[in-house]
Every structure is written in C-alpha cells, then in structure tokens.
Structure 1
Amino acid sequence: MYRGQAARLETLAFRVASPTSSWPLLCAAGAKPGPAVIDWWSRRARSVECVTPANPVPCFKIYTREREREREREREMGSEEETVESREWVLSSYIPQGVPTSDHLKIRTVRIDVGVDSIPDSHVAVQILFISVDPYLRAMMTGQEDGLYLNQFQLNQALRTFGVGRIISSKDANYKNGDLVSNPFFPVANYCVIGSVFLHKIDIKDGISLLDYLSVLGVPGFTAWVGMQVVGDPKPEENVFISAAAGAVGMFASQLAKLKGCRVVGSTGTDEKVKLLKDEFGYDDAFNYKKETDFDAALKK
C-alpha cells in the first residue's frame, strides 16, 4: 500500500485512492501514479492525499472542510438550506488520445437549489460522499463512439459515474433525509439533484462498508461476476486464466473462480504483484507477462 504526501492547499479537499492502472483517467497535468501530489490540483484544493489501498477501487471523497461541523448538524436535524455551493468536474474538450489534463477537465462552482419546493417530483437532493473511478470512463471522453455501449460525456457537463451519497432533501416518499444511497449516474460533484429511479438505498445495519458498494458490490465486482458466472461459467477443476490479475476486476474474478473449485492462473506486470497474487489473493500460479517471451509456454508450466 502506498500512503501519499499531503499538501496544504486552498479551497477544496479530495481524498484520492487509485491504483496506477486507473490513475490517468481523471488526473491533471503533472500527475504521476503512486504517492505523487498533483501540482495542478494543488493550486485548487486544500489537501490531496494519494494512496493505493488494499481496496482495489479508486475513490474520491469530496468535501469542504469549513462545512464539516455544519454537515454534522444537517445529518442530525435535516438541512434547512435552500441552496448549496457545489464544485464539479466538467469535461471542457474531448481527449481522443493520451492522458487528460487541465486543458480537458475543469472545476467549476455552481449553486444548486435543494429546498423541497425546488425539487421535481420523484427527485432527491444528494450530498455525494464517494465516487468510483473506473477504466470505462476514459473511453467516454474521446468524442468517438466506436461502438461503445455507453454514450460519450457531453461537453461542458459534469462527468458521471457510480457513487454513494446522503440524501439531504427528498420529493420521493421512498427516501428521506439522511438515507444513504448508491447510484450509477452521480455527477463528479459535491451535490446534485437527481431522479430516484436508479437509486439504491443502503442499509448501514448490514455492516457493509460504503466503499464496498463501489468495489465488490460495484462495477468491478459486477463485471467479474458476469465474466465468471454468466459468460465463462467454468466448472470445478477446470483451468481459469485471468489477465490484469491484480486489478480491480481480476482479483474478484479469481475469487469467484476459486469458489467454483477451479485452478486459477493470473498474469500481471511486476514481480511484486506476482508475489501478491500467489501469497495473498490465492492464485494457484502467476507470472510477469513483461518477462515472458512465450505466453503459451508460460501457461503450460
């Protein structure tokens, strides 16, 4: 696990957890994977902590420090504010190739009406707590459809992704202030008003971490489940090979395959990750694909 430096900065605070494989998705100019502090963000944020956690899913926790005490009161009593200030990441231009920079992604501040009288029916106002940064998001920034099953992000609109948030105002009888919810289309922002059709209520009594709803119960876990259960459906004692085996999807796929009684072999890009796969993730065998010249021979070992 990497534990990054913390920089004392200006107005907005982000807690960033990201594996190096997904780092380029939403990084800014000068950003590097691992524990690097992002120079471009440092001119706009109060603090940035970059880590690569055991939890495989990258997340942003977005908050404004000066409002923490006020939010505690809001959670207990319900928000009486009619409008809130929200900062959001906006796609200002498409990125056909390369790494997104500050030329492509901008932060803007907007005021959002969150009073009950301002919210449409079957909508809720949400304070967004965590978002998931997944590889598919990069493919939605190119401006080219290329047969992608998801539409491209719209220019000058906030990026959208899976997230977890807390309801601060509701126009839906099924949801009340303080409810925790997940949604696949939250904007990358502090707050939003959104339709309730795709909301999923989170019951904290289940004892499941909020981050688990973005990892094993989110896009990576669901992708792994579809691959192992719906598409591949391997049988006991069969051999299963997983590439990008130390990634967010790969590590879940391997566990599902092991539960089915399969022999699981994975490939990854460093010797350290090979050791991780075998010693901690339970792979039967693994190899560094950057060192192998004959993949058929490596798989036959």
Structure 2
Amino acid sequence: MNSETVKAGFIGTGVMGKSMALHLMKEYKNLYVYTRTKEKAKAILENGAKWSASPAEMASNVDVLFTIVGYPHDVEEIYFGQNGILENGKKGLIAVDMTTSKPSLARKIYNEADAKGIHTLDAPVSGGDTGARNGTLSIMVGGDEDIFERAKPLFETFGGNIRYHGKAGSGQHTKMANQIAIATNMIGVCEALVYARKAGLDLEDVLQTISGGAAGSWSLSNLAPRMIAGNFEPGFFVKHFIKDMGIALEEAERMELSLPGLSLAKQLYEELQSQGAENDGTQALFKLWKE
C-alpha cells in the first residue's frame, strides 16, 4: 500500500491505541480517527489526523482500518448492525481488529465480511503501554495470508514482532496463549518480591540479579520495578485482563482442557477487582500480599 495515497483509519485511542495511531501517522499521513470520547483523540487530531463521525463513516471512506476497544461486546457494536463497519464498509476494505477478543467472534466477523467483499484480520497485540509507545508491539495475526501481507507494512509502523498464525481466529487463540503465560507468571513475580522483602533483601538488587537468569520474563523486567515503586498506573487494565482470562477459560472448557494455574490467577485478580482496583494496571496484583 502506498503510504502517500492510502487512507487509513483507527478506532479506539486509549492507553494502547493512542500511541499506535501516532506511530501509524508518521508513515501514513492520511489518517482518520474515531473514538466515542473525542477528547481522547485530541493529541492525534492535533498531529494532523482527520475526524470520522462514526465507524460507518470511516468504513465507507478508508482503505484499511484498525480497531482496538475494550470488550467483545464493543467489537460487536462496531462491526455489526446498521451503523457498523460491515454494513457500511466499501468493497475491498481491510478491517483489522486488534482488541483481545473471542476467537469465535473473529471467525463470525470474517465470514460476514467475506460475504460483503470486505477483508478482515484478527490481530491482538502484546507489549503493554511500553511496547505501544516504543512501536515494538508483538502482533499475532489470523485471517487470509495474502491480506496479512498487504497489511504488514502498516503493522510495522507500531509492531516489532509480527507473525501470521493461520485462519481467522488464530490471532486470538495465540493471544490467549500469551495471556495464560502472563497470568501465572504474574503470581510468581509478586511472590518472589514478597519473599525477598520478608527476607530483608534489597528488592532492586534482587530484581537485577534474577531478571538476568532463568527467572527472567517481560513482567519481571517491566512490571516488577513498578511494583517496587508503588506505581500501579495502567499499562493494561486489571478489568481487561480479567476479561481475557475469562475468554481463555471459556475456550479451554470448550476444548475439554483444565488450566488450574489460570483459574487461580483469575480468582486472585477478581479479589483485587473487588477491592476497587479494576482500573489499575495488572502489576497491582502485588497489593494482595500485605505485611
């Protein structure tokens, strides 16, 4: 796609979407944005993006659009119905949903879009607010491979590790595997810090030592320092992580698969949510362990 002539669209400018859209604009100047609260798109509009009044308006105008919203029901609202993307999108449109959502919903969107001559990809991301700001997100893509190849140059503006995983829904399944790995790892990160603190160790020194060994992980390197500093601002919301774990457990049940570690992590995060921390970052799990 010619970056000078292609019209791109971006729906959802929250913690992740804002940075992603700004990176996209550096290469693709002809960018349209929409979000339910226009104020959240202020920084992007001030950088030269154009405003679309609705998903329907955007879909009828652009060549490729990205959506990254909160929940599967938000995705359904944007894609289906009289004012949705699929009813109003022009033939040949490429619509990429980057929300972490249900694999079954990704397949439903793909099938209905295909019948209307619209191409869709499911492409959830990992890397948090840091990866979004740095343009280094991991992007997991499902859909038709030829459409993935056409969209890849746009992915490259905000992604560093971009992989095609197969038919529609495969990107969402890969993201579920990602979230399962993170969920139980977060328990380990918290317990390691609590143990070190109880033993009277310097947490910064411990973190520098163990993060470079076999215990190393993204969460240990990027979120443990925030835990130590008492910084629970969201890079990824607790409420959205609980949503993701629920989807993964639902899919696991459908496949007759038991995931006790994930079940425990979800229970702990729900306890955290009950304490009023749903809008904190996932590193706030550390709050559950008190002296």
TM-score by length of 1: 0.34
Higher helix share: 2
TM-score (norm 2): 0.35
Larger Rg over CA atoms: 1
